Structure 1
Amino acid sequence: MKKIYVIVFILSLLFPISGHTQNKINLSDYSFEIDELSEEKFITFTKKELENSQFVFVGEQHGIKEVGAFTNFLFDQAQSYEYKTLCIETDAIAAKKIKAMASAKAPIDKAKNLDREFPYSIPFYNNENDYNLFTNVVTKGGDIWGIDQTFMVQFRLNFDYLSQTTQNKALKNKVEELKEKADIAYKQAVAQKDYTAPYIFQYDKATHDHLLSLTDDPNEIEIIKQLWKTKEIYAYNTITKEYYKNNNERGLLMKQNFARYYKEAQKTIPTPKVIFKLGANHAAKGLTRTNIYDISNLASELAIMNNMHSIHFVVMGITGTAATGNPFAPSSSVPFDNTKQFPKEIQELIPSITKKYFVLNLAPLREHAYSNFSEGFKKTMFRYDILVLIKDAEAFKGF
C-alpha cells in the first residue's frame, strides 16, 4: 500500500488536479474600470507596475485609435522611470522615416506626403493618431526603433532611401532602376487587386547578389540583406505554406534586429528601457499562439537577468470599428465584435462593463491557476500581465 501512496503523491506533483482544493476566484477583485486614462486610479496602478521595470509591451489590436493613445499615456508615465525609446512593428528604414517626420514642424503633413508617394509602405502607422505618439516621443528626446521585417510593398521606399543616402554611384543607379520596377509593380497590384504583383515576388537571388556586390558599406549591406530576409519570410507564408517557419523566422529576425539596437544603446546606457507597440501576439511571454518564443519572451528574460522585470499588456476592443489597412478592401474600416474570441471568464464579465476601459490585473491570478479557470484563460494569464478591454473602440484616422 505504501508504494501506491508514493506513486499517487508523485503523480499529483507532476499533474496537479485543477480546482479540487481552492475556492472560485472573483475576477472583479482584480479589475477596475475607467472612462479616462488620466484617472488617478489608473495612474497609480501603472506607476506601481513601472517601478523597477525595463520593458513595457503594448500588445495591440491593430487598426483602433485607442491603442495609440494608450501607448502615449504609458510613455508619459514612464518618463519618471527613464524610458526614452519606443519600439514598433516596422523595419529600421520605416522607423527612421517616422522619426524624421515626427521631428518636423508639420509631422502629419510630412507623413501624408510620404504616404501619397509610397502608399501602404508603412502599415499600421499610416494614421494621425499614432503620429501624436511619435511626436510626443521625439519631443521628449526619445528614439524610435523598428525591429520587424520590411513590409511586402515597401521595397520601393527602401530603394528610394538607398538612392537618397548612398555616395556610391553604381548602387544609386541600380536601386533607382529597381525602384522604377517596384513602382510599376505596385500600380499593377492595385489596379488588378493582385497580392502577387508587388515587386517582392520579382526580386530574385541574382538581383540581390548583384546589389550586395556594388557596396562595401555595412549599413547599405544590412538594408539589402533585410530585403532578402523578408522575401524568405513571406515565401514561407504565400508560396511554400510553411506557416511555422514563417512565424519563427520573423520572430528570430525581430530578436536579431532588437539586439542590434540594444547593443548600440548600451554604449551610453547600461540597461536601456524600451516601450514596445506591437501586435498582441508579439507581446506574449512564453509560447505564443503561433507556437514560437517571440521577441517579448526574450525581453522578459533579459529584464530578469538585469534584476528588473517586463510588463506585458494586451489591449483589445470588445466591439467597435477598426481600420482595415487593405488597399483592396471596399471600406477603410469595418465593424468588429471580439466577444467570442475571449476566454469564457471574460465573456461572462463583458455584459457588466459600463466604462470605456476595463483593466484586469492577470499576474496575481497565476497563483490560482488551477481554480476552475478555462484553458483559454490560463493561456492569457501566463502570456500577459494585464488585460485592457476597450468598449466601443474607434478606427484610427488614416491618411
Structure 2
Amino acid sequence: MIKLHQFLTAAALAYIATTAVRAGDNAPAPAKIEPELIEFSSDGFAGAGAEMLRSALAGAQFIGIGEDHGYAGAPALVAAFAREGKPHGFDYYAIEVGPHSTAWLREKLRSSGVDGYARALEGRPLAIPFLNFREEAEVAAAFTADGKLWGIDQEFIGSPMIHLEWLAERAGSNTDIVIALFEKEKEAFAAGNQTAVLMATADNERWTQLRDIFAADAEALVVIDELKRSQSIYRSIFAGRGLENNLDRVELIREYFLSSYSRAAAGDQSPPKVIFKMGAVHVGHATSPMSTFDIGSLVEGMAAANGMDALHIAYLPVGGEQTAIRPSADGAFTVKPTTRGDTLRASLEAAGVNMTALDEGDGHFVIPLEPVRRSMGNKGLSEADDMFRFLVLGFDYLVTTKAGKPATPLATE
C-alpha cells in the first residue's frame, strides 16, 4: 500500500511538472535575433556590427573565415581582419592552395604585383585555385614577406601548368619531354577535358620517368613527389571514394599547417597569430558535412592550449551572384546565382533571426550564432539540414548579404 507521504510527494512532483509545462507553453516567444549592419574593406570594419567582431580579436590566436567560393566579399573580409588584427599580431595568412603553388604566386606578386601575376596566369587561368580572382590576389599581396603566406592544401589539379613549366627550365637534355607534357596539359584544360590532365592520366611509369630525369635535383624531386601525392587524393574522388578523399586531404592540410606553424613559432619565439580562409566545410569546429574534423577543429584546441581563442566566421550570402570555376572549352569562369541562398535564408528565419533589415538593404550583416544555437535547441538542431547544423554549431558569426557580388577572374583564357 502506498503510504501517505509517498502519495503526497508524488502528487507534488506531478503538480510541479504540470506547472512547468504550462509555464513553458505560455512563455513569451524568445526575442528575435537581430543582424547588425557591417562594412568591411582593407580600411577595417565600420557600422553597427563592427564592434561585435573587433572585440573578439584581442583574445584570439586564429581567425578562420569559411566561405562559399567565388564571392568578392570574402577576401574583403580577410582584408578587414588583417587591418584590424595587425595591432594584435596577426601577421600570417594561410590559404587553400598547395605550398609549391603558393611559393610561385608569392614570387609573382612580390616581383610584379597583381597585374604581373595576372599576366603569368594567362593561358592557364586554372593553374591556381581561388587566388585566380583579383580580390583574392590583392589580399595575398599584403603577405608576400618571407614566411607570412602559408599554402596548406594539396597541389591543385591545374597546378602542373605551373610546375611542368618550372621543371622544363631545369630538365637539361630532357627539356623537350617536359615541355611536351606542359603543352598537353594546357590543351586539356583549354578543351575542358579533365580526363586528359596529368592528375588523371599519370601512371607509375610516368612518375618514374620524371623522377629519373631529375634524379640529381632534390628540389625538383620534392615537387614531383608532392604532385604524385596530390594525384592519389584526387583519384579517390575520381573513383567515388569521397570519404577517403576527404580524410587524406584533411591529413595533408593538417601536416602543412602544423609545419608552417612550427617554423613561424620558432622564429617568433611565441605562438603565431594566423588568419586563414578556406571553404566553409574546413573552417568550422564541428564534424563537417564531409564527416571529418578539419583545420577548424585543430586550431580550437591549439588556441586553448595557449590561453587564447579561435574565432570562426562564415561568409555565406543569401542572395546575389558568385563566380563558378570549371574547366570548359567555353571558358573557365561563369557567373551564376548564389548557391543555396534561399535555403540558408529560410533556415535563419526559422531559427529566430529577424531577416527584415537584411531583406530591405543591400549591405552586409553580421549575425552572432550563439543565440541561434540556443534558440534552436536540441530539437531544432536535430531537424536542421547537415550544412546549417554545421554552420550553427561550428561558427561564432555569420556574415551575409542578399546582394553577394561575384569575384573577378584575373585571366579568363
Say if 1:246 and 1:61 are closer, same or farther in 2 by CA, change over 3 A. Answer: same
Please identify, of 61-70 and 328-337, the stretch whose mean Cα deviation from structure 2 is larger: 328-337
Q: Determine the structure 2 residue equivalent to 1:233.
A: 233
Which one of the candidate residues 47, 57, 70 is aligned to 1:50?
57
Q: Which of the residues 69, 84, 91 maps onto 2:98?
A: 91
* Deviation sequence 1:325-376 (CA, Å, 0-9, x none): 2231566211225333327441454454133112111135545662763433
Q: What is residue 33 of structure 1 aligned with on the other side?
A: 37
Please name the residue that 1:254 is paired with: 253
Alignment pair present for 1:78 and 2:89:
no
Amino acid at match of 2:206: T
Provide Cα deviations, 1:291-328, integer angstroms capped at 9, x if missing partner.
01112211111111111111111101111111112231
> Contact 2:193/2:327 (CA < 8 Å) preserved in 1?
no
Percent identical pairs in the alignment equals: 19
Q: Counterparts of 1:76-155 in structure 2 under 5 Å?
A: 76-104=83-111, 106-138=112-144, 143-155=148-160
Partner of 1:159: 164
Question: Which of 373, 378, 385 lines up with 2:396 in the alignment?
Answer: 385
Name the SS for the 2:316 alignment partner: strand
Q: Distance in 1 between matches of 2:161 and 2:390?
A: 40
> Quick check: 1:359 aligned with 2:366?
yes
User: RMSD over aligned Cα, in angstroms?
Assistant: 3.0
8 Å CA contact 1:315–1:390 kept in 2: the answer is no
> Structure 1, unaligned stretches of length 5 or more?
3-16
Aligned equivalent of 1:342, options 320, 341, 344: 344
- C-alpha distance after superposition, 1:191-236 (max 9, x if no partner): 3x32201122222223324544544766444322211111111111
SS in 1 for 2:403: coil
Give 1:184 deviation, angstroms. Answer: 1.2
Partner of 2:16 in structure 1? Answer: none
SS at match of 1:148: coil
Q: Which moved more, 1:343-352 or 1:48-57?
A: 343-352
SS at match of 1:332: strand
Contact 1:92 1:145 in 2 (8 A): yes
User: When the two structures are aligned, how many residues end up with a matched partner?
Assistant: 375
State the alpha-carbon separation in 1 of the partners of residues 172 and 49 from structure 2.
Answer: 51
Alpha-carbon distance in structure 2 between the residues aligned to 1:396 and 1:110: 19
Distance of aligned partners of 1:259 and 1:179 in 2 relative to their CA distance in 1, 3 Å threshold? farther
Rounded to whole Å, the distance in 1 between the matches of 2:139 and 2:340 is 25
SS in 2 for 1:108: helix
Change (3 A) 1:77 1:36: closer
- Corresponding residue for residue 69 of structure 1: 76
Match of 1:317 in 2: 317
Q: Is contact 1:25-1:371 (8 Å) kept?
A: no
Task: Report the TM-score when normalising by structure 2.
Answer: 0.81
**What is the CA–CA distance in structure 2 between the aligned matches of 1:280 and 1:287, rounded to whole Å?**
12
Unaligned runs of 5+ in 2: 7-20
| Structure 1 residues 133-156: Cα deviation after superposition (integer angstroms, max 9, x where no partner) | 1223348x8711111111112113
Whole-angstrom distance in 2 between the partners of 1:109 and 1:76: 23
TM-score by length of 1: 0.84
SS of equivalent to 1:57: strand
CA–CA distance in 2 between the matches of 1:295 and 1:370?
26
Please give the alpha-carbon distance, in whole angstroms, between the structure 1 residues aligned to 2:318 and 2:175. Answer: 45
Name the residue aligned to 1:10: none
Structure 2 counterpart SS, 1:373: helix
SS of 2:194's equivalent in the other structure is coil
Read off the aligned partner of 1:380 and give its amino acid letter.
L
Question: Residue 267 of structure 1: CA displacement?
Answer: 1.6
- Report matched runs for 1:138-217 at 5 Å: 138=144, 143-164=148-169, 174=174, 177-191=177-191, 193-212=192-211, 214-215=214-215
- Three-state SS of the structure 1 residue aligned to 2:408 is coil
Shift of 1:178: 3.0
Q: Per the alignment, do residues 172 and 368 of structure 1 end up closer, same or farther by CA in structure 2, a change over 3 Å counting?
A: farther
In 1, Cα distance between the equivalents of 2:376 and 2:118? 48
AA matched with 1:33: L
Q: Secondary structure at the match of 1:123?
A: coil
